[in-house]
């Protein structure tokens, strides 16, 4: 009597199914292990990356103190030298920036300023006499150079700055101009201070 073919194929079918099941069970474990091995070096780098990156915090100036040299004055207004030197030093001393005012030879950087132009120009005029100014614009411009005292590197050289204010008073114009010169110097000094101490 002939044997049934079902009995002949029963054992291989079970064996193949079991072997396939073992392969399917092993594949996720192998992939998971491989992913863990690949991720391990990245996890080791995370503490270093977190130490060097600060979310939302911009980088500040690469120095902590600045020596403000006596301002050079190439304008026809000799009093501007003293006004400007005091105004810039006061800005660094009271401005609230982490960059503080330092002494010569000790500070991390030196700021050199040259006043290169000062002039006044009629802004408004007397309606009864169009040739007579009722107010003047006082204009002051300067060039600034910032040097790293530790390395000699120049952060910037002859960077231009300019400030304008309006001076009123037809009858006492010379006196009003003299009174406004410290304000003009202070405004220009604040512009330079902000440029030196803001985000780089």
CATH 3.20.20.70 fits 65-197, yes or no: no
76-97 pLDDT tens trace = 998 999 999 999 999 999 999 9
Q: Are 146 and 155 in contact (CB under 8 A)?
A: yes
Separation between Cα atoms, residue 38 and residue 167, nearest integer Å: 71
Separation between Cα atoms, residue 163 and residue 141, nearest integer Å: 6
120-160 pLDDT tens trace = 877 666 666 555 666 788 999 999 999 999 999 999 999 99
pLDDT at 200: 72
pLDDT reading at 195 higher than 60: yes
37-89 pLDDT tens trace = 555 555 554 444 444 444 444 577 999 999 999 999 999 998 999 999 999 99
């Amino acid at each position: 009597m002939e044997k049934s073919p079902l009995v002949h194929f029963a054992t291989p079918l079970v064996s193949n199914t079991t072997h396939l099941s073992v392969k399917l069970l092993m594949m996720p474990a192998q992939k998971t292990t491989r992913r863990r091995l690949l991720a391990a070096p990245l996890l080791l780098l995370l503490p270093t990356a977190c130490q060097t990156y600060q979310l939302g915090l911009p980088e500040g100036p690469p120095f902590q103190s600045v020596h403000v040299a006596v301002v050079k004055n190439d304008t026809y207004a000799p009093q501007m030298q003293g006004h400007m030197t005091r105004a810039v030093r006061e800005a660094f001393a009271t401005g609230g920036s982490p960059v503080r005012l330092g002494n010569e030879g000790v500070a991390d950087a030196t700021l050199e300023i040259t006043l290169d132009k000062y002039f006044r120009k009629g802004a408004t005029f007397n309606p009864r006499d169009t040739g007579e100014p009722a107010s003047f614009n006082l204009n002051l411009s300067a060039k600034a150079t910032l040097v790293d005292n530790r390395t000699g590197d120049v952060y910037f050289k002859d960077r231009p700055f300019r400030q304008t204010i309006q001076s009123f008073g037809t009858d006492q114009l010379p006196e009003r101009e003299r009174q406004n010169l410290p304000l003009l110097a202070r405004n220009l000094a604040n512009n330079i201070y902000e440029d030196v101490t803001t985000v780089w």
